[in-house]
Each structure stands twice: as structure tokens, then as C-alpha cells.
Amino acid sequence: MEFGSLWRGGLPAGGSRRVAAGERCHWGAARYMPFEGTLERALTLYRAFMAECGVRLPTGYAPPLNYCIYYECRKYYSRAQLLKCLDYAAEAGCGLLYMDQGWEDYFSSGRWDETRFGPIGEIVRIIRARGLELGGLVGLHADSYVWPHECRRKDAEGRLAPGDRWGHWVGTCPVSETWRTTKTRRLLSVARGGMRFFSFDFNDGIEPCFDAAHGHDLPLDLWEHALGVARQQRAVKEAAPDTLIEAHCWRTSGSAYWPMYVFQGGHDERWGFEFMWDPFADLKQGRLQRLYYYNLAYEKPLYLHIDLAKDSARQIVFWYVVSTVRHPGIGNYSALSAERQAAVREATALYARHREYFTRGVFSGPDPLTHVHTLPGRGALVLRFNPQPQPSSGRVALDAGALGCGAGGGRVETLMGAPVRADFREGTLQAAYELDAESALIFRVVPAEG
Ligand SMILES: [Zn+2]
């Protein structure tokens, strides 16, 4: 049996728990919230409740547009390749060079690879001179013996247990205190060197750990595993609060096993559900639209980077992602034609001029292809998407109040795409639009004076 409130039980992977006849179990609290109206309304009510519980947009949240070098450099690269990507990132209008994996001497060591890149302070100076910051990925298990013996995962016979499915074969036990304090010390040293963003990934808790010296259940239970990962993450955040931290799942890579509301306080943002590989196909087939529903249900921002080569000529994916992911990243700029590169520069410049609507605006929208971002006193941005291979036209009707406009309505200004024909009638904005194939349009609604 597995349902909503059973998450704390720490079930084995894909497993179940047997409840004997007459046995009493505590399943946690279930809360019901009556409402009337649409699914959108239900989700925004849930979002407000979650915000009261602390699952919210961080104060002063202002994430950069990342440039993710993974698409060009994969897992291992030279200093020259890194600096080439810095050129792409600066040209594309990004604010942070995200090294993903590959910045360490060995995966998950938490140690900057000075042999390959030179001192971190020197690289950070070069990157900052171009107007960018530096970020990197943090993993749990290792591909080499980079942790003291007592940090390793042990099987029932006391042998070294493997790490994960991704080739990080030296298992690390996140309950080990030596690991927690050493990892925190190493990451803080990198943060002091100038790394401003960490993405915590590859936290797989697949293999159990039987080392009694770690002080956990035998074998290690999944909940204790996740707690260990989250505790270490929190130690970094508390000691370096200015470091932006994104948390992948504390138990798996990519997917989200635990509910969004656990472990608040150790991170600023969550991972955008692995839509980094082929987001255009995800949009065409309806999967990317989950990001719309996520934003209705949670204020907590997401981080996601995309491959610019996996987008339509009119960049519908770029706009869908920046509209649903408050901390976006792009990559693979070098794979584009000169014409497409120019289009990316135009898009990132338009995004930068209106960034605050995307990063801090209140998100709403009547359907997955119509998004609204409202800022108090500053009206709203509206985006409409056409993922079909042929042009489309239609009309959207939006409540003036949700657009930040009073009874006086407002002025509509098309920022991208064919100009919309809009007017306010009885507290509703009616906007008629025409859209090219696989494209997005954006218009801004400015409240009328007084
Ligand atoms: Zn252990």
C-alpha cells in the first residue's frame, strides 16, 4: 500500500509495506480543502496553503540566466573548452556559467580541479570580468576514492557497496558524520572561492548501507538516506546563505520521490523534472505542460537548462521554459546557425528587459498554453503558445483583476509576435491573436493611471 501520506515510512525502492490484520499504523495527517471552481483555482488555493507552510518564493529572489556547458562539454573538459563556453555564454546574454559536472578533480569530491583549470579565484576573476558568475553540480557517490574510508557505504558482509547507476561506483553513506562535515568544509571553500550556484544531483539511495558505525538503521532506510543528504545541503546553505542552491531529489536522480514540501530551508529551488533532453518533443507531446501545473501548485522556483538546438526556429521552447521555470538556463549555442544565434540574442535581451515578471511575478493562466505573470502595481505579461506545425488564431479572455488592472482597465503592448487586438469589457480583457507555427507571442498589460 502506498499513498499520499506514507512518504515518511521509507519504503524500499518500488516496494510495499505489509499491514497485518489488526495492526495499527500512523499514516500522517490528510487535509481536505473544499472549494468551488476550476482546477486552476484548486491548484492556486493549494499553492497559497503551501506558501503558508513555507514552500515559497525566496525573499529577494533574483536568479541569473545560466549558460550550461554540459551540451558542448559533457562531463570532462579542458580550461580552453571552458573559456570557449564563457565566450558563448557572454554572447548569448547569460549571467552565470554553469560548469555542471567536471569542475572537480574527481566526481563528487567537492574539490576544485586546480590542475586542469588553475586557481578558482583566477577563473572567477576572468568570468566576472565578462559580467558572469560561476556555478557547478554537486553529487553524492564518487567515481574514485575521494572520501575517508569511514564515509563509504558497506554491504551486509562489510564490503564496499556501489554508488549509483551512473558510473559513480564508490558508494557514499550520507549519514556518515565525517562525510557531512568534510563535504560541507570542501564546498564552503569552493563557495568562498567564488562559486555562487550549486545544483545537488545524483543522490541515489538504491544500494542499502550496513555500516553500524554510521548510526543508522541496518540496513540504511531511504528516509534516513534522504535526511542525510538534506542535512548536508542545509549545512552549506546556512554557512553560505548567498549561495543559490537547487535541490534535485534527495533519494533519486531526476524524478521527485518525496513531496515538494519536505526539507525546506536547505535550498532555494527544485529541479525542472529532467526536461533538459528534448523539451520540444516534450512540448509537442504534452509533457512539458506539467511545468504550467507545477507553477499553479507551488511558488517554490524550479531550475532547468535546455539545449538551444532542441527548439523550434521561433524558439517556442525557450519561451515556454522561461515562463514556467523561474531560474532557466540555456546551452549548445555553438551548434546553432548564425541566424539562430542572432535570434537567441534577441530573445535573451527581451527576456532580460522583463525578467522580473518571470522570476518574481505571480503565475496564473486559464490553460497550459496561456500564461500570466503579474507584478503588484506593474500589470502583467501574458504569453500565448502555439505548438502546432500550422499557424493558429483565437481569442483569450482574462480577468482584469488577475492582470493587476482595476475598473479602468489598461493599455496593451505586444512585445513579440503579431500585434494583438485587445480591449477591456466589464472587467475582462479580450485579446484576439494570430500565431505562427510553433511560436509564442508576448504582450504586456499596463494598468490605467488612477
Ligand atoms: Zn551508512
Q: Sketch the domain layout of the chain as residue ranges.
A: 4-50, 66-361, 364-447
Does CATH place domain 66-361 in 3.20.20.70? Answer: yes
Please report the pLDDT score of residue 61 as a whole number. Answer: 98
Q: How far is the CA of 221 from the centre of ligand 1 (A)?
A: 9
232: left (phi over 0), alpha (psi -120 to 50) or beta: alpha
| pLDDT means over runs of 10, the chain (450 residues) | 42 61 84 93 96 95 98 98 98 98 98 98 98 98 96 96 93 98 98 98 92 95 93 98 97 83 94 96 98 98 98 98 98 98 98 98 97 96 98 96 90 97 94 98 90
Please report the pLDDT score of residue 206 as a whole number. Answer: 81
H or E segment and range at residue 338: helix 338-353
Please report the pLDDT score of residue 267 as a whole number. Answer: 97
Please report the pLDDT score of residue 411 as a whole number. Answer: 95
Note residues around ion ligand 1 (Cβ under 5 angstroms).
173, 209, 211, 214, 220
Distance in Å from the first CA to the final CA of the chain: 58
- Best CA proximity match to 5, nearest among 259, 256, 296: 259
- Cell numbers found for residue 277: 533532453
Please report the pLDDT score of residue 450 as a whole number. Answer: 54
Please report the pLDDT score of residue 12 as a whole number. Answer: 46
Please report the pLDDT score of residue 13 as a whole number. Answer: 45
Please report the pLDDT score of residue 2 as a whole number. Answer: 39
Residue with cell 538546438: 309
Q: How far is the CA of 211 from the centre of ligand 1 (A)?
A: 5
Q: How far is the CA of 223 from the centre of ligand 1 (A)?
A: 12
Residues across the chain: 450
What's the sign of the alpha-carbon dihedral 384, 66, 230, 14? positive
What's the CATH fold of domain 364-447? Immunoglobulin-like (2.60.40)
- Best CA proximity match to 99, nearest among 130, 75, 128, 65: 75
| Measured distance CA(377)–CA(357) in Å, rounded | 12
376: left (phi over 0), alpha (psi -120 to 50) or beta: beta
Q: Respond yes or no on whether the N-terminal peptide bond of residue 419 is cis (omega within 30° of 0).
A: no
Q: How far is the CA of 29 from the centre of ligand 1 (A)?
A: 30
Residue with cell 562535515: 181
Please report the pLDDT score of residue 16 as a whole number. Answer: 61
pTM of the shown model: 0.95
